[in-house]
Amino acid sequence: MARAVSLASIETQVRQRAQMENSTFITSAEMLSYINASGCELYELLVAARGKEYYLSSQTIVTTSGVSGYALATNFYEVVGIDLAVGGRSVTLQRYEFAERNRFQNPVVVPAFTPLVYGIEGTTLRLLPTPTSAQTVTVWYVPAPTLYTTTDSTFDGIAGWEEYIVVDCAIRCLQKQESDVSAFMAQKEQLRRRIQSMATMRDRSQAPRVTDVTIVDDVNWRTFLGRA
């Protein structure tokens, strides 16, 4: 972890900020629910900025002949990319649009070999045309945010960004107390802008560039199909 912070420490900071250090108005269980909710907000900010650079994970799936749907990881949140192992190398699968779902099912119009395409349907990865053999697929994805069940857990604040959770939780506490939260709301907005600005700069080695997704791995596919 870049900056490990205990949830117990976050709770203490929230109570100090909201001036509730010796109050039982907000229970520890309720505070933990606030921390989880505020943590999800921060998580979404980071995912929107550069999700794959903060929380990238992977899942390996081996296809079965005649089966097109495969269960995604239980903590799946959103896909970053999907690879298919082909001839000792990996190629990038393209996504099909839902309106195209029947395009690859008719054996009359589908060529003898058609590169697989994928779609996400709820908690299922759909591969088309339906695989006819065992093939290895790697799903690169951003996992769902962690649901903490105890303040003994630690949170990665990365660059002091746990302050966003502290301020947002303080707002929740004061709102329940029907107190003025305007100062904290202004501070939260400043933190949001700071995180959105800085989180996009995780890799400063090269400037971001546009990718033509219509030709991703085109050479690998043509080589595999004997068209190179």
Mind listing the pLDDT tens digit for each residue in 111-144? 444 578 999 999 999 999 889 899 999 999 999 9
Burial of 65 (0-12, 13-18, 19+ CB in 10 A): exposed
Phi, psi values for residue 48, rounded to 5°: -65, -30
Query: What tens digit of pLDDT does each residue of 10-56 get?
Result: 999 999 999 999 999 999 999 999 999 999 999 999 998 887 888 99
Pairing of strands 117-121, 94-95: parallel
pLDDT tens across 155-179, in order? 999 889 999 999 999 999 999 999 9
Distance, in Å, from the CA atom of 32 to the CA atom of 169, rounded to the nearest integer, reads 9
Distance separating alpha carbons of residues 42 and 213, to the nearest angstrom: 29
* DSSP classification of residue 219: H
pLDDT in tens, 187-196: 999 999 999 8
User: Which tokens in the block code for residue 26?
Assistant: 């907000």
DSSP string, 162-217: HHHHHHHHHHHHHHHTT---HHHHHHHHHHHHHHHHHHTTS--SS------GGGTT
